[in-house]
Amino acid sequence: MSPSKPKNAKPKNAGASGPDRLAEYRGRRAAGRTPEPVPGEGPLPRGDDDTFVVQEHHASSLHWDLRFERDGVLVSWAVPKSLPWSPATNHLAVHTEDHPLEYATFEGEIPKDEYGGGKVIIWDRGTYETEKWSEREVKVVVHGSRVSGRYVLFRTRGDDWMIHRMDPPADPEAEPLPESLPPMRPVRRARLPRAQDDWAFEFAWGGRRLLAYVEGGRARFTDGRGRPVDGPARAGTRLGAELGARPAVLDGELAVVEGRETYMIYDVPHLDGRPLLDVPYRERRERLDGLGLSGALWQTAPWFPGDGDAVREAAAAQGLPGVLAKRLDAPYRPGEESDAWRFVPSPAR
pLDDT at 53: 97
pLDDT at 200: 98
Contact 47, 69 (CB under 8 A): yes
Cα 338 from Cα 50, distance rounded (Å): 55
Contact 86, 58 (CB under 8 A): no
pLDDT at 87: 94
pLDDT at 236: 77
Cα 274 from Cα 291, distance rounded (Å): 15
pLDDT at 228: 94
Note the pLDDT tens digit of each residue in 184-233: 999 999 999 999 999 999 999 999 999 999 998 889 999 999 999 988 87
Contact 78, 93 (CB under 8 A): yes
pLDDT at 41: 86
pLDDT at 332: 98
Cα 148 from Cα 151, distance rounded (Å): 9
Q: Count the Cβ atoms, other than its own, within 10 Å of residue 213.
A: 22
Mean pLDDT, rounded, of the chain? 92
In this structure, what DSSP letter does residue 349 have? Answer: -
Note the pLDDT tens digit of each residue in 238-254: 898 899 889 999 999 99
To the nearest whole percent, how much of the chain has pLDDT over 90?
81
Predicted confidence (pLDDT) at residue 100 exceeds the cutoff of 60:
yes
> What's the whole-number mean pLDDT along residues 44-67?
92
Note the pLDDT tens digit of each residue in 13-45: 444 445 799 999 999 999 999 999 999 888 887
> What's the whole-number mean pLDDT along residues 128-146?
96
Predicted confidence (pLDDT) at residue 340 exceeds the cutoff of 60:
yes
Predicted confidence (pLDDT) at residue 52 exceeds the cutoff of 60:
yes
**Which residues are paired to 77 by β-bridges?**
66, 95
pLDDT at 18: 53
Cα-based torsion angle of the residue sequence 285, 290, 291, 294 in order, rounded to the nearest 10 degrees: 90
Note the pLDDT tens digit of each residue in 315-338: 999 999 999 999 999 999 999 999
- Pinpoint the alpha helices (H) of the chain: 23-27, 235-243, 281-291, 308-317
Angle 224-227-232 from CA coordinates, rounded to 5°? 70
Predicted confidence (pLDDT) at residue 304 exceeds the cutoff of 90:
yes
Cα 224 from Cα 263, distance rounded (Å): 14
Predicted confidence (pLDDT) at residue 7 exceeds the cutoff of 80:
no
Cα 347 from Cα 139, distance rounded (Å): 66
186 residue type, one letter: P
Predicted confidence (pLDDT) at residue 349 exceeds the cutoff of 80:
no
Beta strand residue intervals within 89-195, DSSP E: 91-100, 108-110, 118-133, 137-144, 148-157, 160-165, 185-188
> What's the whole-number mean pLDDT along residues 106-134?
96
pLDDT at 8: 34
Predicted confidence (pLDDT) at residue 10 exceeds the cutoff of 50:
no
Displacement of CA 310 from its chain's centroid (Å): 36
In angstroms, how far apart are the furthest CA atoms of the chain?
79
